[in-house]
Chain A
Amino acid sequence: MTLEITGLKVSLGGRDILRGVDLHLEKGRVHGLAGESGSGKTMTGLAVLGLLPHGARATGRIDLGGRDLLTLPPRELNKVRGGQVAMVFQDPATSLHPMLSVGRQLTEHMRHHLGLGRAEARARAVELLGKVRIPGAEEAYGRFPHQFSGGMRQRIAIAIALACSPRVLIADEPTTALDVTVQAGVLRLLRGLCDELGLAVLLVTHDLGVMSAIADEVSVMKDGLVVETGPRGQVLREPAHAYTRSLLDALPGEPGGPAEPGGKA
């Protein structure tokens, strides 16, 4: 078990946002977290990183390698954040700094967390850019985010997240801002990296198609609670909870998909 969340409760301004969430992330597995907006998916991700909004109170336990991230002192938590747990956000247009070169954003935390020298960090950054399949990694190092397309930016954001060899990657709607064709590439990349590096991935998404493509386990959240959790095939094909069934029924089109001829619903 790489990361274990037990009984996580978060309240903000007197409102309960999470009401006891249990999740288990394992090495080399993608755990999908589905649900409507407002169900607490993103908050769960943020709580792991200690990035909850100001004034939020979190109780429960988030266990990473025997330590509870919720009670960790800030100095220790800073070592975990970016070092052992990394995050990829929804919109690469806003999650990358527009005024800093890609190279600077890729090396800054590596030099801090890993204590690498300038040249070492640069070499590793170029290698990472190659790994996320950015064409011309050497030239890309010196460029700025606006010079890349949306899909490329998200690849760069993934490279940044992976720079310090984290054990856990939290991807919050990583493909929602992308076109379907680009999304397919980023999903393949995420799946490949997860298998290759043995990452534990928490994939937050509302898109059950995306979930079906790359998640191994699926948890469904509603109103701050996990209502159903299980292997992908089971949750998506034979949902036990009525809410999961309603989510699947709300999808446009029949499950057969584009290959199957058929009229409109």
Chain B
Amino acid sequence: MTLQIEDLVVEHRSPGRPVVRAVAGASLTVSPGEVVGLVGESGCGKSTLARAVCGLNPVTGGSITFEGRPVTPLGLRRRTLTAVQMVFQDPYASLNPRRRVGDQIADGLRTAGDRATTPADLLERVGLPREFAARHPHEFSGGQRQRIAIARALAARPRMLIGDEPISALDASAQAQVATLMRDLAVDSGAGLLFISHDLSVVRLIADRIAVMYLGRIVEVGNTAEVWADPRHPYTRALLQAIPRPDGMGVLPAELPGDVPDPANPPAGCRFHPRCPLAMDVCREKEPAPGPVACWLHEPA
């Protein structure tokens, strides 16, 4: 088991505000060579979870272990855990505008102690011409920049690649391409991939397993095809039904009433019950146990 997240709790504290529990007891595993898609609405804590896995957010409770060793928060010291690499959401902000892209990729190669590979080789792997190494980020489009960011992450020879909404800043035409590229590169190098997105149709295309997150908790985990064909948690169903289909029939997608509640003040019982069409009495009182499906409807009796 490569990456193991157990009962993770991450809190955001800011002065004068209540403590926000962005991740409230989430468990997830990602094996080598496996692609796990993490989906959920904005504000559900999926990005916080990704940042915690990289050590970018301090952990309040629970544990994150990578290959048996705990993931420690990043500090001023040189980091020891270079096998976990992240591709960020916005390639306009994640690349240094003042350095040549080849130099930025070379940083990763140096980290991995790789003298045989050149930045141009990596550019070639992500489908860009070798000459691009001498250019600066502003000379590229969003899709090209995200490919460069992926090349930079791959240069450090990661055994776990994390994509935090890596495609949401890109054009629709580039989204599927970049997502598939990330999958292929991760799987070919035997690394695991934790792919975070709010776009279910893209996650479906590349993920082996899907984890659905709602308000800091993972409510359903399962094989992608199974979750897609037979979503069991009412929230997963609502998410899938809300996707408009390009069938030309003019069917308005189903609406999920209400907004995501404030994570600083989550509802009692099951966190989804105020918006759930199937809420029962027990849902208002007790929180369902985490499992493949965290819902009282699917609780083993």
Contact = CB atoms under 8 A, between A and B. Distances in A.
Grouping DSSP codes into helix (H, G, I), strand (E, B) and loop, the B interface class, with mixed when no group exceeds half, is loop
Given A252-B201, A252-B204, A261 B244 contact: no
Q: How many residues of B sit at the interface, in one of the four size bands?
A: 35 or more
Interface string A150-182: 111000000000000000000000000001111
B40 to A, nearest CB: 9
B135 interface: no
Contacts of A149: 259-260
A152 B244 CA distance: 20
B230 A261 contact: yes
Given A36-B173, A261-B230, A264-B225, A209 B245 contact: yes
A31 interface: no
Contacts of B176: 250, 252
A212 B245 contact: yes
Contacts of A213: 244-245, 250-253
A206 interface: yes
Contact of B243 (A151, A258, A260, A261): A258
Nearest to A38: B171
Residue among B202, B238, B240, B244 facing the most chain A CB atoms (10 A cut-off) = B244
B86 interface: no
Given A36-B172, A264-B204, A232 B248 contact: yes
Given A187-B244, A252-B176, A179 B252 contact: no
Nearest to B231: A258
Nearest to A238: B248
Given A180-B239, A181-B239, A209 B228 contact: no
Interface string B216-255: 0000000011001111000000111111111111111111
Contacts of B172: 36-37, 206-207
B205 A150 contact: no
Residue among A152, A212, A214, A255 facing the most chain B CB atoms (10 A cut-off) = A212
A188 interface: yes
A260 B244 CA distance: 14
A16 to B, nearest CB: 20
Nearest to A252: B205
Interface residues of A, number: 47
Contacts of B243: 180, 209, 257-258
B171 A37 contact: yes
Contacts of A184: 242, 244, 252-256
A171 to B, nearest CB: 15
Interface string B255-272: 111011000000000000
B28 interface: no
A258 B241 contact: yes
Given A181-B242, A208-B246, A258 B228 contact: yes
B198 interface: yes
Interface string A221-247: 000000000001111110000000000
Given A181-B242, A213-B250, A151 B259 contact: yes
A116 interface: no
B128 interface: no
Interface string B170-202: 011100100000000000000000000010111
A257 B230 CA distance: 12
A262 interface: yes
A152 B228 CA distance: 29
A69 to B, nearest CB: 29
Contact of A252 (B42, B202, B225, B254): B202
B246 A262 contact: no
Contact of A210 (B171, B244, B247): B244
Contacts of A255: 245-247
B176 to A, nearest CB: 5
Contacts of B244: 183-184, 187, 207, 209-210, 212-213
A235 B248 CA distance: 8
A264 B224 contact: yes
Contacts of B224: 264
B242 A253 contact: no
A140 to B, nearest CB: 13
Residue among B201, B239, B248 facing the most chain A CB atoms (10 A cut-off) = B248
7 contacts: A149-B260, A180-B243, A181-B242, A182-B41, A213-B245, A213-B252, A232-B250
The 9 closest A-B pairs by CB, nearest first: A236-B248, A209-B244, A261-B229, A208-B246, A213-B244, A258-B240, A181-B256, A252-B205, A184-B253
Given A191-B252, A209-B244, A237-B247, 16 more contacts: A150-B42, A180-B242, A181-B256, A184-B256, A185-B256, A187-B253, A206-B172, A212-B249, A213-B245, A213-B250, A213-B253, A250-B176, A251-B246, A258-B231, A258-B243, A261-B225
